[in-house]
Structure 1
Amino acid sequence: MKIICTFLALAFISITAVAADAAKPNIVLIYADDLGLDGVSCYGADKHQTPNIDKLAASGTRFTTCYAAPLCGPSRCLLMTGRYAFRTGGITNGSWRNGGPGAKSADEPSVARLLKQSGYATAQAGKWRQVGETPRDWGFDEYVTDPTAGGWFWKDSYEKNGEQVNAGKDAYNPDIIHAFSIDFITRNKEKPFFLYYAMHLVHGPILRTPDTKEGGDLYEDNIRYMDKQVGGIVAEIEKLGLREKTLIIFSADNGTALSYPSTIGGRMLNGKKASMLEGGSRVPYIASWPGVTPAGKVSNDIISIADQLPTFVDLAGGKLPEGVKIDGISHAPQLRGEKGTPREWAYVQLGKNWFVREQGWKMNEANELFDMSDAPFVEKPVAAAEDTEASKAARTRLTAVLAELNPAAGKTDGGDGKKPGKKKKKGKAQ
């Protein structure tokens, strides 16, 4: 009898574990490089067509107001840790070099490690170098990446799980990354997985793609190839019968590319990559999980790239680490079509500059207030002497937010955003 009871108990535990895994969605995070709102047609881009990304948006929820950092490295650190730059030291692209204060895997939470604790297989594919260390140090079971910080296209080698691999003379790295991603999904189809697909497209240099025809627009070719690869990931997940078990998120690491701004409705966005203007950090954010995420919905809720860590942990049924301040806020309820607890504001930092942004208003590190009612096209400064009741109330609210955050007491930057260092002032940042 004892043996039978033990067998039944083990069977129950096994069935319970399988049921728990079945309730956890696979998570595929597709992160484009240097892509603002003006590069995606479902956000109103006049010039560029992205039919596969548009289809993804139609099958899920498109968020209109998402903020990354204005540069690759700080944005990816924000994604990985769920913590603001002044806490981690992930403040510029150079933060991990020359003794800078860049985040270290041993000191910070990691979205990959937290998902591994919830039973997920984890993989990173594509751009990585500006985060520091290796993807494995940050909790990824396997990875494919490269030794450069920028675009990595027609090259003869790449790095896989710490080993240099000869790719041959005519290798197109985005295809290598894509093939690795498909293989990872296929091998892990029976259990929950997390794939961080960090595209190099559409970062410069803007080179030909395998689909480029003579005389074509190279930048548009790159946009279309990026879109094609997004469609390829979705198609493979559908082919494996995993679509209703998989949350796919499409976003980007910073706003409009420096050399390729475009228009939305005939108007140019205010600012580009590396600037503290709206166009520098406002990015697309699309979430699709058929049967769970409302299809065709457009949400104006404010989203921060810091929110991905707590959102994914929430969906995985995991726990956030204790004793560390997580700045991200889970929007898992919104992904399920519920109201949730939307952000009141987003915080954005690059080096010694920062701002806090709520619906309609923005305040920067100099306590300058901006009317954002016509954003992302216009940011209108509002002098204190010209305050209306609305702007005065916003000034009070945002001043209080910045005072509580106190970024200047944390890890900031010594000057131009290229020479990281630790700057101490009165007060203490968590």
Structure 2
Amino acid sequence: MVLILKRTWWKESIAYQIYVRSFKDTNGDGIGDLKGIIEKLDYLKDIGFDMVYLNPINKSPNDDNGYDISDYYDIMDEFGTMEDFNLLVEELHKRDMKLIMDMVINHTSDEHPWFVKSRSSKDNPYRNYYIWQHGKDGNPPNNWGSFFGGSAWEYDEITGEYYLHLFSKKMPDLNWRCDEVRKEIFKMIKFWIDAGVDGFRFDAINHLEKDFNFPDAEVKEGQLYGDFIKYVQNLPKVHDYIRQLRKTLFNTGDHVLIGETGGISYHNAFIYTGEDRGELDMTFHFDMHSVGRGKNAWEKRKIDLVHEIKNSMSGWQQRDDKEGWCPIFYSNHDSTRTVSRLGNDRDYHNKSAKMLATLQLTQKGTPFIYYGDEIGMTNAWDFELEDYRDASIFNKYRDFVDTGLVTRENYIKGLHLTSR
């Protein structure tokens, strides 16, 4: 049988993911910027990249390194200006390179004007842009935890209600059941399409819908909060939102839509990427991200590399093409460095790095290379707790170290091995 693949530009590309803040600084402030990316485009083109994927660059107070957006229509001050962005798009397209933009539409910053208005009064027109609930007997509405540690609910003294935040308390979740929210988000995405963006990686897109019955969840052994995942992830209505997004904005086939979809495997990814679904082109799954991780985020376990990589990737490689295309990535902003996690970066650094790069580049799918992996960049082995810039690390320190469940020494040792 001959398998005939439908040709699209993003199936024939190699992507380079850039975490702008620590890429290249051109003005001496110690922070990477858009001009730094422009200066490196010839380098990226020369070594074979034809797609650049940027982590969030929108204006943000940076509680979660840009994933807390306060202005969807502007660039983070440290990174540059809209003029710099327009020049970046121009220079990329001049080299026949594409631009993928990280877009956060599950939540905003609590400093976004929408939320400032929403929390000001129960009668404010923006109130329904977010998810508000009464507490129960002086406690949160239910026992859901946050992905970043602590409760998923934050009490707001202004109106005496709680708002939902699946991530940081500085990142309230948008209410996608609200028609006005969807209209605002679609209008904003159209702005960036018109600015020349070739595709989007939608952060946490499979969390857009929640169970509005807000039931308490089972509290598993060793955990402080209920296992809330099934109430906020991959719910049926998410697909309605994505199809509406695609039909409204992406009906030409010229752009690529990628979704971050935790909890999805090769068994069921087709519910987002099947060619008859009208939703996403690719899903960022977490199978390879989990290789080498222990039960908890700070633990690393011994691995049988060949066996585990085969187990993680064989199913994706053997899928029918009609079920969707696969991005091939071994590390990104949510994981440690590839060679440190999956190889031996001390005794066999070069051999490990070359082996992993060869494996990544010889599988079916679109490779996404995290900046620095092309030179075998390693983990930072000497960081202290204060050196990290990750809200979830400090929240989980409070939940597990301060409560005596984990020692500080073991927690920091785990961060060296598994942290973002």
TM-score by length of structure 1 reads 0.34
Give the structure with the larger strand fraction.
Answer: 1
RCO higher in 1 or 2 (8 Å CA, sep ≥ 6)?
1
